[in-house]
Amino acid sequence: MRIVICDNYDEMSKKAALIVASQINMKPNAVLGLATGSTPEGMYRILVDMYNNKEVDFSEVTTFNLDEYYPISKSNSQSYDFFMKKHLFSHINVPEANINIPNGEACDAEKECEEYENKIASFGGIDLQILGIGQNGHIGFNEPDEFLYSNTHKTGLTESTISANSRFFASAGDVPKNALTMGIATILKSKKIVLLACGKSKHDAISKLISGKITTLCPATMLNVHRDLVVICDKEAYHG
Ligand code: F6R
């Protein structure tokens, strides 16, 4: 694991955007794994600027998002589908056919998850996966538990995550109780992983991740087995 400690959010976002752009410049048809949430918003803003300045071209890129609430309609402004269009996809030239997000409108969640997992495999896996981290150490929607799932699956959200995400909804009662998410093995099969974390509220989860101890009660600690993980965080997430 490599740890990069930044002075602030902007520096973290810039470093992450440069890694994504380099990945695409090295491999124009790169397969990217993308995250939502407030942490990567700055990185997406910088990538849009880089695209406008012709520093990166997304025309051959394929994307797979980590997760989506379930059930949720794509037109709901809190869906991750809506988020990705708002922050990235409607500003760059990635073809719509190359964009993959678990379908929160699917009637059969299990079938959707199985097809999603198979589709990632059919592309030869993810070249670069961007991750955020929950205050409780979740990655994607793999929540702390006695056991974790390997593959893309439907999962319930914990009270901690519902309460953290309620800031985006009218009330905690409006946060969907389930999600579709890549599993731990889906994430670990990515060739390179960049995890972003910002702010004191992430300190506990980051400390557990970098302690090197692995526990399903802090899913991010599973990343310790990955050969090519870079953690880019600000001072507050690192030092508390
Ligand atoms: C989002 C995701 C989540 C977030 C995590 C942190 O696609 O997979 O694991 O990365 O909840 O969210 P923020 O960045 O809002 O603190």
CB-ligand 1 contact for 36 (6 Å cutoff): yes
Average pLDDT, rounded, for the chain: 97
- Ligand 1 atom with the smallest distance to the CA of 80 is 7
Task: Give me the pLDDT at residue 171, please.
Answer: 87
Give the nearest ligand 1 atom to 40 CA.
14
- Active-site residues, by number, are 67, 136, 138, 143
Condensed to tens digits (0 to 9), the pLDDT of residues 4-22 reads 999 999 999 999 999 999 9
From the CA of 98, how far away is ligand 1's center (Å)?
22
Q: If you measure from the C-alpha of residue 132 to the centroid of ligand 1, how many angstroms do you get, rounded to a whole number?
A: 5
For ligand 1, mutation pick of 34, 39, 63, 126 (most atoms within 8 Å of CB): 39
Out of 23-37, 94-108, 152-166, least confident range? 152-166
Q: What is the pLDDT of residues 124-135, one digit of tens each?
A: 999 999 999 999
Q: For residue 188, is pLDDT > 90?
A: yes
Nearest C-alpha neighbor of 34 from the set 75, 85, 72: 85
